[in-house]
């Protein structure tokens, strides 16, 4: 680079790496695979880092007709889970020169105001949670390359779906509680019309019904501590059926509300009733006793979602298979005394 120059150019990078400017363009545009070797690509990246080279994205995007901007549509950010999804998506996006705009649906679910004069002109693609799917019609996101998260692959609006293996999570919860001798279950279900919660309910019902002498009652609650408290208290003070020994919650926040209701009723966790959640938020270890819950890897979820969208944009086949989940057993579950 010439002395006194304030900004290195792709020509400077090419000279430093001993390659052509075309090779620099391929590598820094992440289109080098199958065209240049891994060794050459790394040499170009190293030269760019050493020189402090930054491509002129505005000019390149004008040439390509792209904004290199992706919209991530999620429910209102009331838990840390979707913050983790954003972190993972943004990490992958940054490695490929993309930016991620986070758009929480103002009401959590349902229609949302269009944040762009024209989403199709302002965005290259959309990643959306099925819990905020209705917002897509307002922003016309369903007319762009679209990846759906937590969505039924058989009826998804998206070109690709990326899912956590939430069915296996429900199976792990049911099998854990059944192995502890529990036979009477209360399911505190999220009052949200979403495929992910339907899957949890169906799998829990299937696993419990496979064991003789079991009962399962379901009550719905908003995903809030206050809503869970009221729903749990009403369910456990009513006349319906035997008192459950296990309370299965669709979300850690629901479990926190359930804890409050159980204490008000003079019931001890886990001695009188075992409790489980889903997510493994920071809240799970703040509760006393600490909550047995299904750990969902939010950052990996976001990474996979962004990687899938990049594959769609580049005409590649995205990675297949659901993301594994893990039951983390803590102090809120124990063997039933019954």
* Residue 6: per-residue pLDDT: 60
Q: pLDDT, tens digit, for every residue of 200-249?
A: 999 999 999 999 999 999 999 999 999 999 999 999 998 877 899 999 99
- Chain-centroid distance, C-alpha 93: 15
Percent residues over pLDDT 90 in the chain: 51
Torsion of CA 275, 281, 287, 288, to 10 degrees: 70
**pLDDT band at 258; cut points 50, 70, 90:** very high
**pLDDT band at 107; cut points 50, 70, 90:** low
53 vs 251, more confident: 251
Establish how many alpha carbons lie within 13 A of residue 199's alpha carbon, considering only the half-sphere containing its beta carbon.
17
**pLDDT band at 2; cut points 50, 70, 90:** very low
Q: Which of 98-102, 150-154, 275-279 has maximum average pLDDT? A: 275-279
- pTM attached to this predicted model: 0.76
Look over the chain and give the mean of its residue pLDDT values, rounded to a whole number: 85
Q: pLDDT, tens digit, for every residue of 293-307?
A: 999 999 999 999 999
DSSP state string for 226-252: HHHHHHHHHHHHS-SSSPPSEEEESSH
Residue (of 173, 175, 153, 176) closest to 164 by Cα position: 153
* Residue 296: per-residue pLDDT: 96
* Residue 269: per-residue pLDDT: 97
């Amino acid at each position: 680079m010439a002395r006194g120059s304030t900004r290195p150019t792709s020509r400077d990078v090419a000279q430093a790496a001993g390659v052509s400017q075309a090779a620099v363009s391929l590598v820094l545009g992440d289109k080098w695979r199958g065209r240049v070797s891994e060794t050459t690509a790394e040499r170009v990246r190293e030269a760019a880092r050493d020189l402090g080279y930054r491509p002129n994205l505005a000019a390149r995007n004008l040439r390509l007709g792209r904004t290199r901007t992706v919209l991530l549509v999620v429910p209102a950010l009331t838990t840390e889970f979707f913050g983790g999804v954003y972190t993972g998506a943004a990490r992958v996006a940054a490695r490929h020169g993309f930016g991620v705009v986070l758009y929480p649906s103002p009401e959590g679910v349902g229609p949302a105001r269009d944040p762009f004069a024209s989403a199709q002109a302002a965005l290259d693609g959309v990643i959306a949670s099925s819990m905020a799917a209705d917002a897509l019609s307002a922003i016309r996101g369903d007319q762009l390359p679209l990846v759906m998260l937590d969505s039924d692959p058989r009826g998804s609006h998206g070109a690709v779906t990326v899912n956590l293996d939430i069915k296996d999570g429900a199976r792990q919860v049911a099998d854990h509680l059944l192995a502890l001798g529990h036979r009477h279950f209360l399911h505190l279900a999220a009052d949200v019309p979403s495929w992910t919660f339907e899957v949890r309910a169906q799998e829990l019902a299937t696993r419990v019904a496979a064991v003789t002498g079991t009962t399962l009652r379901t009550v719905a609650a908003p995903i809030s501590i206050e809503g869970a408290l009221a729903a749990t208290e009403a369910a456990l003070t009513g006349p319906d059926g035997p008192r459950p020994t296990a309370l299965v919650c669709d979300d850690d926040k629901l479990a926190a509300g359930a804890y409050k209701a159980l204490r008000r009723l003079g019931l001890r966790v886990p001695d009188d009733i075992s409790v489980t959640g889903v997510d493994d938020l920071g809240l799970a270890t703040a509760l006393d006793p600490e909550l047995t819950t299904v750990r969902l890897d939010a950052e990996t979820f976001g990474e996979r979602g962004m990687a899938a969208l990049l594959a769609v944009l580049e005409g590649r086949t995205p990675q297949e298979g659901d993301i594994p989940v893990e039951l983390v057993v803590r102090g809120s579950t124990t063997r039933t005394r019954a």
